[in-house]
Structure 1
Amino acid sequence: MLDFLNPILGRHPEQIKANVEIYTWQTCPFCIRAKMLLWWKGVKYTEYKIDGDEEARNKMADRANGRRSVPQIFINNQHIGGCDDIYQLDTQGNLDSLLTQPAV
């Protein structure tokens, strides 16, 4: 809708090639915060809302090395971690390079 603002804001969604998946609960503030960062970067992601779904949570934990907290984020099937982890990657300048790598 306001795509003309992307270059002004330093956003380059056309460069995002990675497959991003995020497991969330609808009202989790950390999930909302992580999704806001992804949105800001222009990332189109797959969201798995696992509120009250123990089977889905177990599947997430299997993929996330046993971590059962939400959110759990995966980029190109690589476990990134949770909200603090993705913000740390961004702060260190490492998130953008992960997001521009094409999914294999």
Structure 2
Amino acid sequence: MYATRTCPYCIRAEALLNHKGIGNIDKILVDVDPSRRDEMIAVSGRRTVPQIFIDGTHVGGCDDLFALDHAGRLDAMLIGTSD
């Protein structure tokens, strides 16, 4: 997950993933290493954080993650990714 340390959407997305049993989130903090933002844009096509990937599949941002959960599709994507 590409994120910043203070982004409320990043914090919400991480909280949802933690609630789903995902405790080891690989966070790339673009505020700590701004050069990684260009990488994020290249792989996601988006400029805002968070940008979330599950097993290499781009999910999108926080709203997209919550929409997947609401649609009942997030749990299936997370199978096998919990600690």
Same fold flag (TM > 0.5): yes
Between Structure 1 and Structure 2, which shows a larger proportion of strand residues?
A: 1
**Structure with the greater alpha carbon radius of gyration:** 1
1:82 matches 2:73: no
1:47 matches 2:16: no
Q: Select 1:59's aligned residue among 22, 26, 39.
A: 39
Structure 2 unaligned regions, length at least 5: none
Residue number in structure 2 paired with 1:14: none
Q: Select 2:74's aligned residue among 91, 95, 98.
A: 95
User: Segments of 4+ in structure 1 off by > 6 A?
Assistant: none
* Deviation (angstroms), 1:45: 1.5
Residue number in structure 1 paired with 2:50: 71
Q: What CA distance in whole angstroms lies between the structure 2 residues aligned with 1:98 and 1:26?
A: 25
Q: What CA distance in whole angstroms lies between the structure 2 residues aligned with 1:47 and 1:99?
A: 16
User: Which amino acid letter does the alignment assign opposite residue 78 of structure 1?
Assistant: T
**TM-score with structure 2 setting the length:** 0.89
**TM-score with structure 1 setting the length:** 0.72
Query: Per the alignment, in what secondary structure is the counterpart of residue 67 of structure 1?
Result: coil
* Deviation (angstroms), 1:63: 0.9
Shifted more, 42-51 versus 29-38: the winner is 42-51
* Deviation (angstroms), 1:52: 5.5
User: Which amino acid letter does the alignment assign opposite residue 79 of structure 2?
Assistant: T
